């Protein structure tokens, strides 16, 4: 493997520090790309270690992430357990520690764009970085992720090199500005796809580092539930208690969901073999499982979007173009939005036409008004909405079409659009495994008009796209959806 196989525009130096000549290892600070396969940051770090004839140490730092709860941590820890095992097979040591700085309340974000904290949780352990010749990390797109990398880059005394590995095409390469719809970003992405849709080979390991991990005073992550208890996170959301390695958690859609690359591979293989052909016509049917269920695994970086795209593109399935549109164009449009719009988690992040039409209709009479509590407890008059909310609370995932309907109705049932956005974002981040990321932030604002166009004007919505019960009944078998969710 050589550097030409990792595109130059994926690589960015975050400081101008010089390589430490007396360093003992190269450090890969893994955070967003939590996987040992198809990880550009990992392979780049290994190449840098090999050229210096040094071992590579992979490190993951646990902190109380904004809005994360036990459901999210369990899924993540199941994946990291597999990462450690796979890296060990290659002779690469993996270690992790947890931050001791403060509670989760210090780690939230707010719409002003300022973090609520400036604590030590943003740092990395000195005993690791002080002995590193250089440090490599992957890329995050949210405000919190950028702040963390910026702070570490300023504090450490060696280079911090960021390698983008969670998109097909680097964000700035696609466009130097915020794109306003799929139609504007699509041709830019398609023009570059052939160049970036290339397999990523694995670099040879020249110096093993398993002894470094054994001697590094790291956490034992073999028991995810034990780690969760040690993080002192309130049990706000129920989590599954898996008894064995093969034990699984059923979803209302009929699939099985558990963290880790091995489970991501099972879902992907099943999707390609049994669902992809009918994906364009059945993906929105709430009671059917015609989805890939990749979003939670992509959220935690447990599988690469490039690997998924390559596998799907090799098929002759009539559904592959539609799926690749969602995986690449739509997903990377959300990355573009979060990267270029600092108000991505605020009502103010909407285009002006959306804010204008919603404010003009703010005082329109609402037939129903629900509190955050009523909505969270699925206590509305709408059985379809309640079913979707229950599905999300129980399983950590909601059918994509129902999530759009769900968000639209929150707008209809709250006094102000700003309140609707706040509640939808709160519920989405709290319960969904794929919340709290660019797709989640973008999806909530899409319900209020982001990346859409003006439609026929009506009460409350103005010219924002409208959805109703009649549309659901006309298009889908809603009775079967309700029965399936309530049965679970």
Q: What is the CATH number of domain 343-487?
A: 1.10.579.10
Of residues 79 and 106, the one with the higher pLDDT is: 79
Least confident of 75-89, 159-173, 231-245, 386-400: 231-245
Confidence of residue 216 (pLDDT cuts 50, 70, 90): confident
Instruction: Give me the percent of the chain exceeding a pLDDT of 70.
Output: 91
In 3D, which of 141, 139, 147 has the Cα closest to residue 121? Answer: 147
The DSSP secondary structure of 310-378, one letter per residue, reads: HHHHTS--TTHHHHHIIIIIIHHHHHHHHHH-TTTTSGGGS-HHHHHHHHHTTTSPPS----HHHHHTT
* pLDDT reported for residue 121: 64
Over the stretch 291-332, which tens digit does the pLDDT of each residue have? 999 999 999 999 999 999 999 999 999 999 999 999 999 999
- Residue 137's H or E segment, with its range, is strand 132-138
* pLDDT reported for residue 113: 37
* pLDDT reported for residue 153: 96
Query: Is 60 exceeded by the pLDDT of residue 107?
Result: no
Confidence of residue 224 (pLDDT cuts 50, 70, 90): confident
Q: With contact defined as beta carbons under 8 Å apart, do 441 and 333 qualify?
A: no
* pLDDT reported for residue 120: 55
Over the stretch 455-479, which tens digit does the pLDDT of each residue have? 999 999 999 999 999 999 999 999 9
Angle at 308 between CA 185 and CA 394, to 5 degrees: 95
Q: With contact defined as beta carbons under 8 Å apart, do 304 and 316 qualify?
A: no
Strands 11-13 vs 93-98: parallel, antiparallel or unpaired? unpaired
Q: With contact defined as beta carbons under 8 Å apart, do 406 and 420 qualify?
A: no
* pLDDT reported for residue 487: 80
* pLDDT reported for residue 389: 96
Rounded to whole angstroms, the Cα distance separating 33 from 39 reads: 7
Confidence of residue 64 (pLDDT cuts 50, 70, 90): confident
Query: Is 90 exceeded by the pLDDT of residue 87?
Result: yes
Strands 56-62 vs 93-98: parallel, antiparallel or unpaired? parallel
* pLDDT reported for residue 242: 44
Q: List the beta bridge partners of residue 136.
A: 28, 161
* pLDDT reported for residue 110: 40
The DSSP secondary structure of 165-201, one letter per residue, reads: -SSSS-HHHH-SS---SHHHHHHHHHHHHHHH----P
Rounded to whole angstroms, the Cα distance separating 260 from 107 reads: 25
Of residues 278 and 65, the one with the higher pLDDT is: 278
Q: With contact defined as beta carbons under 8 Å apart, do 163 and 136 qualify?
A: yes
Residues ≥6 apart with Cβ < 8 Å to 189: 168, 169, 174, 328, 329, 332
Query: Is 70 exceeded by the pLDDT of residue 343?
Result: yes
Domain boundaries, given as residue ranges, for the chain = 3-165+208-214, 343-487
Q: Per CATH, which fold does 3-165+208-214 belong to?
A: Rossmann fold (3.40.50)
């Amino acid at each position: 493997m050589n550097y030409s196989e990792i595109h130059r525009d994926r690589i960015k130096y975050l400081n101008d520090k010089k390589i430490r000549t007396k360093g003992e290892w190269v450090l890969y600070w893994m955070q967003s790309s939590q996987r040992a396969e198809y990880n550009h940051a990992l392979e780049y770090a290994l190449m840098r270690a090999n050229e210096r004839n040094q071992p590579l140490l992979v490190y993951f730092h646990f902190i109380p992430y904004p809005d994360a709860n036990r459901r999210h941590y369990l899924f993540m820890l199941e994946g990291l357990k597999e990462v450690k095992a796979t890296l060990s097979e290659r002779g690469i040591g993996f270690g992790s520690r947890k931050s001791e700085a403060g509670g989760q309340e210090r780690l939230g974000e707010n719409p002003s764009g300022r973090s609520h904290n400036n604590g030590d949780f943003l740092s990395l352990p000195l005993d690791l970085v002080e002995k590193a010749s250089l440090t490599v990390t992957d890329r995050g797109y949210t405000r919190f992720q950028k702040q963390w990398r910026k702070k570490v880059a300023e504090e450490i005394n060696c280079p911090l090199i960021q390698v983008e590995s969670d998109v097909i095409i680097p964000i700035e390469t696609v466009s130097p500005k915020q794109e306003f719809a799929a139609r504007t970003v699509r041709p830019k992405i398609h023009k570059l796809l052939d160049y970036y849709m290339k397999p990523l080979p694995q670099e040879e390991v020249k110096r093993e580092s398993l002894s470094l991990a054994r001697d590094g005073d790291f956490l034992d992550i073999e028991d995810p539930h034990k780690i969760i208890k040690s993080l002192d996170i309130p049990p706000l959301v129920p989590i599954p208690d898996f008894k064995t390695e093969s034990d699984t958690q059923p979803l209302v859609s009929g699939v099985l969901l558990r963290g880790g690359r091995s489970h991501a591979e099972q879902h992907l293989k099943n999707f390609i073999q049994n669902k992809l052909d009918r994906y364009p016509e059945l993906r929105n049917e709430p009671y059917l499982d015609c989805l890939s269920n990749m979003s939670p695994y992509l959220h935690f970086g447990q599988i690469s979007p490039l690997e998924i795209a390559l596998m799907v593109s090799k098929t002759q399935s009539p559904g592959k173009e539609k799926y690749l549109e969602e995986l690449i164009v739509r997903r990377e449009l959300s990355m573009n939005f979060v990267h270029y719009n600092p108000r991505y988690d605020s009502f103010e992040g909407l285009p002006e036409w959306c804010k204008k039409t919603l404010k003009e209709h703010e005082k329109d009479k609402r037939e129903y008004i629900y509190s955050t509590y009523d909505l969270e407890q699925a206590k509305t008059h709408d059985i379809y909405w309640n079913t979707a909310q229950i599905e999300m609370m129980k399983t950590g995932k909601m059918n994509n079409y129902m999530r759009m309907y769900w968000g639209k109705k929150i707008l209809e049932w709250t006094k102000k659009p700003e309140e609707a956005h706040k509640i939808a974002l709160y519920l989405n981040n709290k319960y969904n495994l794929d919340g709290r990321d660019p797709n989640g932030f973008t999806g909530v604002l899409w319900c209020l008009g982001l990346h859409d166009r003006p439609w026929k004007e009506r009460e409350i919505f103005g010219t924002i796209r409208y959805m109703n019960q009649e549309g659901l009944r006309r298009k889908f078998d809603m009775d079967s959806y309700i029965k399936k969710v309530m049965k679970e």
